[in-house]
Amino acid sequence: MADLLSTGVSGLLASQVGLSTVGHNISNVNTAGYTRQTTSFNARAPQYNGGMYIGQGADAVSVQRSYSQFLTQQVWSATSSQSRASQYATLTASVNNVVSGSANLQTALDGFFGAVSDLSNSPVDTASRQAMLGKASSLVATYRSLATQFQQIDQQTNQQITSAVADINSLAKSIADLNGQIQKAYAGGAEPNDLLDTRDQAIAKLSSIIGVSTTTNTDHMVTVTIGNGQPLVSATSSTQLGTATNQYDSSRLEITGPGGSVITSQVGSGSLGATIDFRTNVLDPARNQLGRSAVALTTAFNQQHAQGLDLNGDAGGNFFNIADPAVFNSTNNKGTGSITATFGDVGKLSANDYTVRFDGVNWSATNSQGVTTPMTGTGTAADPFVLDGMKLTVGAGAVAGDSFQIQPTRNAASAISVAVTDTNKIAASGPLSATKGAGNTGKAVLGNLTVTDVGNANFNTPVTIQFTSPTTYTINGGAPQAYADGDTITGNGWTLKLTGAPAANDSFSVKPAGSQSGDNGNALALASVNNKGVLDNGVTSVNKSYSQLISQVGTAGAQANTALDAQQSILDNANAAQQSLSGVNMDEEAANLLRFQQAYAASAQVINAANTIFDSLLSAVRG
C-alpha cells in the first residue's frame, strides 16, 4: 500500500499548494497592481505493473500569473495619457481661476475709464482728478496682482518638475533593483510572480509621470526608455535625470539627462509632459497676453495724454510707466555682445517671445513657435533692428553662436505703474480750444477739434476762420477756400469739423487752451482710449485684448476637460480588459477554495484508506 499512500500524499500536497494560492489571491484582492495567480497540476508518471500502467498521483508544477503583456502595456499607455490629461486640466483650471477671479481686470478697466469719463464732465475739479488717480492705482494693482498669480503658478510648475524628476529617479532605481532580484529568482527555476507584479506596478507609476517604452529581455529584465529613446533603466542600472535653469531665464527649470543635456522637449506624456506643455502652451501665452494688454494701455494712454495740457499749462507727460522688453543673454554665449530692446510700433506687437542669434555675420530671429521672423534695419542706434513692434540695438562683441532671448511682454503687467501723482499734472485739457463767434447768424455748430500734429511749427498760432459766404471761408484772412456742409477744416496740426450751414460773416476761432480754461477735449479723447484700436495694426483695443485673454484661457480649459473625459474612458476600458483576465474574482476564488478543500479532504481519505488496508494486512499476518 506504499504506492497508494504516496498517491494520497501527492494529492494532499498538490491541494495544499492550490489552497495556498487561492488564499494568496483572496488576501490580495485589494492590493493595487496584484495579478491573480493560478496553480498548474500535472499527473505523475505512471508505474507499469501487472501488464498495466498505474497512476502515481499528481504534482503542483507551477504557480503562474493570469497575465497579458499586451493588456498591461495598454494600461500603462492609457495611464500615461490619462495622467497627462488630468494634470493639464488641473493646471489650466488654475489659470482660468486667475483671469476670472476676484482681481478681475475687466472691472478695473471699466472703473478707470469711467473715472476718466467723469473727469471730462468736470475737467478742473480736484475731486474728479483724485478719483481718476485712485482708479488708475486700482487698475495697476489689478495688473500686478494677476501677474503675481501667474508668476506663482510658474514657480509651482518648477516645484512640480523637481518633484516629478525625483520620483522618476526613485522609480527607475527601484525597477533596476527589481530587475536584479527577478533575474536571480528565475535562476532558481520558478517564476517570481509577486516580484513581477511589484515591477509592473513601479512601471505603471512611472508611466503616470512620464511616457515610457519597455522591452523584456531574454534574461527576464526590462529595459525602460523615455522620450526619443533615452534609456532610463537598463538591466540593473538606472539613469538619473536632473534639473537645470534655462540658459536664458534663470527662473525657469529644464529637465536634463546624462551629461547635463537638456531633454525637456522630449517629455511629451504623463503628468510631467503635461506640466511642460502647460507652461509652454497655456501659461506663457497667458502671461504674454496680459503684458501685451498692459503695454497697449500704457502706450495708447500716454500718447493721448501727451497731446493735452495739465492745470499748470504744461504738455502732458507719461501717465503710466512700463518696463522695456526683457532681454536675456544665453549662458552659453562666448562673446561680450548685448542687445537693448525698446517698444516701437505697438500695433505690430505680438504675444510671442523671440530668440535672436548671431552666426558671425548676420543676425536672425525666431519666435516661440520656432518660426523665423524677419527683421529690418542694421541694429545700430541710428538704425535699430525692427522686430514685431520692437526696436533692437545690438552692442559690439558678439561672436558666432551667441544668442539672446527677448520677452517683450512676459513681465510687463508686473512692472506697470502710475507715473502721475499730482492731480494738477493730469492733462485733461486739449492743447487747443475752438469757439463760435458771438455774432454768428448761421446754423453751423462746432464739431470735433482733432489734433493731428502737435509738433507743427504754427500749432499754437491763434486762427480765425471767417466765412465770406455760406460756401467759402478764409483762415486768418488768407485765400478763400471752398466749404460744404460737413467738410473738415484743416489747420496747422489740427482739424475742425462743423455741422450745419454757416452764414456769411460767421466766424470760428481756434487758439491754445488756457491752463484753467475748463476745456475737456483731451479728457474726452482719453476716455475713448479703452475702445481705440491699438494692437494688431489698429484692430484690437485694450478692452478687447483682455477679452482675448479670457477667451484664450477658456478655450484651453474646455479642450483640456474634453481630452480628460476621453482619456479617462480609454483608461477605464483598458483597466477593465486587463482586470477581466488578471483581477481577483471573489466568487471564482470561493469556488476554487471549496474545490481544493474537497480535494484535500479526499486525498486525506485516500491516505486513511491506505493506512486501513495496511493495518488489515498486518493483522492477517499476526493471526
3-7, 130-134, 426-430 — which is least confidently predicted? 3-7
pLDDT at 466: 94
Helix (H) or strand (E) holding 215: strand 212-216
Cell of 411: 513681465
Q: Is pLDDT above 80 for 15? A: yes
- At 309, is the pLDDT very low, low, confident or very high (cuts 50, 70, 90)? confident
Q: Using alpha carbons, list the distances in angstroms from residue 537 to 290, 455, 541.
A: 18, 24, 10
Alpha-carbon torsion (229, 232, 236, 237), positive or negative: positive
Cβ(373)–Cβ(354) under 8 Å?
Answer: yes
pLDDT at 456: 86
Q: What single letter denotes the amino acid at residue 303? A: Q
Q: What is the pLDDT of residues 552-596, one digit of tens each?
A: 999 999 999 999 999 999 999 999 999 999 999 999 999 999 999
Q: What is the pLDDT of residues 348-402, one digit of tens each?
A: 999 999 999 999 999 999 999 999 999 999 999 999 999 999 999 999 999 999 9
Global pTM?
0.84
pLDDT at 110: 92
Cβ(509)–Cβ(439) under 8 Å?
Answer: no
- At 623, is the pLDDT very low, low, confident or very high (cuts 50, 70, 90)? low
pLDDT at 454: 77
pLDDT at 47: 86
Q: What single letter denotes the amino acid at residue 121? A: N
- At 598, is the pLDDT very low, low, confident or very high (cuts 50, 70, 90)? very high
Helix (H) or strand (E) holding 598: helix 586-622
Helix (H) or strand (E) holding 231: strand 230-234
pLDDT at 102: 60
Beta bridge partners of 390: 343, 387
pLDDT at 515: 61
Helix (H) or strand (E) holding 243: strand 242-245
3-state secondary structure 503-533: CCCCEEEEEECCCCCCCCHHHHHHHCHHHCC
User: Phi/psi at 88 (nearest 5 deg)?
Assistant: -65, -40
Q: Is pLDDT above 60 for 1? A: no
pLDDT at 103: 62
Q: What is the pLDDT of residues 424-438, one digit of tens each?
A: 999 998 888 888 999
Report the percent of the chain where pLDDT is more than 70: 98
Residue 510 CA, chain-centre distance (Å), reads 54
Alpha-carbon torsion (48, 52, 54, 60), positive or negative: positive
Cell of 165: 524628476
- At 486, is the pLDDT very low, low, confident or very high (cuts 50, 70, 90)? confident
pLDDT at 2: 53
Q: Is pLDDT above 70 for 133? A: yes
Q: What single letter denotes the amino acid at residue 339? A: I
| DSSP strands (E only) in 264-415 | 320-321, 326-329, 339-343, 354-358, 363-367, 385-387, 390-394, 403-407
Mean pLDDT of 306-310: 87
Beta strand 403-407 with 320-321 is unpaired
User: Phi/psi at 48 (nearest 5 deg)?
Assistant: -80, 125
pLDDT at 618: 78
Beta bridge partners of 213: 225
Question: Whole-angstrom Cα distance, residue 127 to residue 420?
Answer: 15
79 burial via Cβ count (<10 Å: 0-12, 13-18, 19+): buried
Q: Is pLDDT above 70 for 527? A: yes
pLDDT at 48: 83
Cβ(147)–Cβ(291) under 8 Å?
Answer: yes
Average model confidence (pLDDT) across the chain? 91
Mean pLDDT of 99-107: 79
382-391, 402-411, 450-459 — which is least confidently predicted? 450-459
pLDDT at 70: 93
Cβ partners under 8 Å of residue 33, min gap 6: 197, 198, 200, 201, 204
Cβ(78)–Cβ(32) under 8 Å?
Answer: no
Cβ(506)–Cβ(464) under 8 Å?
Answer: no
- At 24, is the pLDDT very low, low, confident or very high (cuts 50, 70, 90)? very high
